[in-house]
């Protein structure tokens, strides 16, 4: 009898320890004290009928209270910068790691932020079990389908937009030679959208790419791609313009407006989805470059508002303290609208001025 009691106590202790261990392994994001402001970008954008968003880096969101405070005060869309990418969320076959995404989803709900899912089919950050695998075409189809259905199905009804296929077009207008194109064929694009829609019919589905702001070879190819998809009855709601820009290559606004117009005439929304404007390639003093940066942001937002079918303005990050460009180049690119100390830059003020001007 004593042995049974001891054994039972051991089991209870082990189960309790296991529960506590699993709970501690799940990352948590501290709550943000509710703060509202009628002059925040979030409030002003809502009055103009658009959403304003930012990509979110998990580590500072978890560890930096200023990061959380600015995000929730100024933006109403959040995009996980990496947490949903194949390599991070599906690192080995048959195993998914949703710990970060679940924490991000909980934070978004608690702070009334819309969640954008990004991306489902992309050529970067694919784990070795996929890239080095020796699969038949049917197996490649099954891998992509299972990945999409698992991610989208898990968050069915909770994600407002999915970036389904990302960067499938080269600068010359040809289809990018991705692992999905090589092993499935061009139809992987249509299939990805159909699977996503089946897994969550409520979510809006977007195609996103870079260097497509102006009329030209690549944007023409994107236009032809999405027009063909619509003609084939593929579920598609919009096109995202990533717009990773610099002072020396900001788009001509008249060309951008014409581009927005033709996508709108297809019945599609257009959005800026990964916007940033680096200043390292500019001329003049640092202060003058920041002013010019503000003018670029303002011009893009004004063109978006005038387009009517432009429904969101999302930057890839929001503070120069955490930016992918700085990590990539090692230079002080300062591409975003808050500086490293979370002080608003001229770009922030320029965006606010546009939103306040009817």
- Catalytic residue flag (residue 167): yes
How many CB atoms sit inside 10 A of residue 106's CB?
13
The answer to whether the CB of 298 falls within 8 A of the CB of 351 is yes
Write out the H or E segment, with its range, that includes residue 165.
Answer: strand 161-166
Angle 62-24-8 from CA coordinates, rounded to 5°: 170
Intra-chain end-to-end CA distance of the chain, in Å: 81
Residue burial 225-252, b: 16+ Cβ < 10 Å; e: rest:
bbbebeeeebbbbbbbbbbbbbbeebbe
Catalytic residue among 167, 213, 292, 333: 167
Catalytic residue among 81, 213, 274, 292: 274
Using the Cα atoms of residue 329, residue 331, residue 333 and residue 338 in order, give the sign of their dihedral: positive
Distance CA(145)–CA(185), nearest Å, equals 14
How many CB atoms sit inside 10 A of residue 319's CB?
24
Q: In Å, how far from its chain's centre is CA 208?
A: 10
Strand segments, DSSP code E, in 178-308 are 204-209, 238-241, 244-246, 269-278
Distance CA(275)–CA(313), nearest Å, equals 8
DSSP per-residue letters across 82-98 = STTSHHHH--BTTB---
The answer to whether the CB of 193 falls within 8 A of the CB of 237 is no
- Catalytic residue flag (residue 213): no
DSSP letter at 63? H
DSSP letter at 169? B
Q: In Å, how far from its chain's centre is CA 163?
A: 7
Q: Which residues are catalytic?
A: 167, 274
């Amino acid at each position: 009898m004593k042995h049974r009691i001891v054994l039972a106590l051991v089991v209870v202790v082990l189960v309790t320890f296991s529960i506590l261990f699993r709970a501690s392994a799940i990352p948590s994001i501290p709550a943000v004290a509710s703060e509202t402001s009628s002059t925040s970008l979030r409030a002003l954008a809502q009055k103009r009928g658009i959403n304003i968003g930012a990509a979110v880096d998990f580590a500072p969101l978890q560890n930096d209270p200023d990061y959380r405070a600015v995000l929730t005060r100024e933006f109403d869309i959040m995009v996980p910068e990496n947490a949903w990418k194949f390599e991070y969320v599906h690192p080995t076959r048959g195993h998914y790691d949703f710990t970060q995404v679940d924490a991000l989803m909980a934070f978004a709900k608690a702070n009334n932020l819309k969640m954008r899912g990004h991306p489902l089919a992309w050529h970067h950050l694919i784990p070795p079990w996929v890239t080095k695998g020796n699969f038949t075409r049917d197996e490649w189809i099954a891998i992509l389908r299972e990945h999409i259905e698992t991610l989208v199905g898990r968050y069915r009804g909770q994600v407002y937009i999915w970036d389904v296929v990302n960067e499938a077009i080269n600068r010359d207008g040809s289809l990018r030679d991705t692992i999905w194109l090589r092993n499935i064929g061009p139809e992987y694009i249509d299939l990805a959208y159909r699977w996503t829609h089946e897994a969550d019919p409520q979510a809006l589905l977007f195609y996103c790419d870079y260097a497509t702001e102006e009329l030209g070879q690549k944007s023409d190819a994107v236009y032809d791609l999405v027009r063909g998809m619509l003609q084939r009855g593929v579920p598609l709601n919009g096109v995202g313009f990533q717009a990773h820009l610099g002072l020396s290559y900001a788009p001509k606004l008249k060309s951008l407006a014409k581009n927005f117009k033709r996508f709108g005439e297809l019945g599609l929304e257009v959005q800026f989805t990964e916007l940033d404007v680096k200043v390292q390639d500019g001329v003049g003093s640092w202060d003058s470059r920041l002013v010019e940066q503000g003018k670029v942001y303002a011009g893009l937002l004004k063109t978006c508002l005038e387009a009517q079918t432009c429904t969101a303005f999302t930057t890839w990050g929001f503070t120069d303290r955490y930016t992918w460009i700085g990590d990539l180049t090692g230079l002080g690119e300062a591409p975003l609208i808050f500086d490293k100390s979370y002080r608003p830059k001229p770009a922030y003020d320029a965006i606010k001025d546009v939103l306040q001007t009817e």
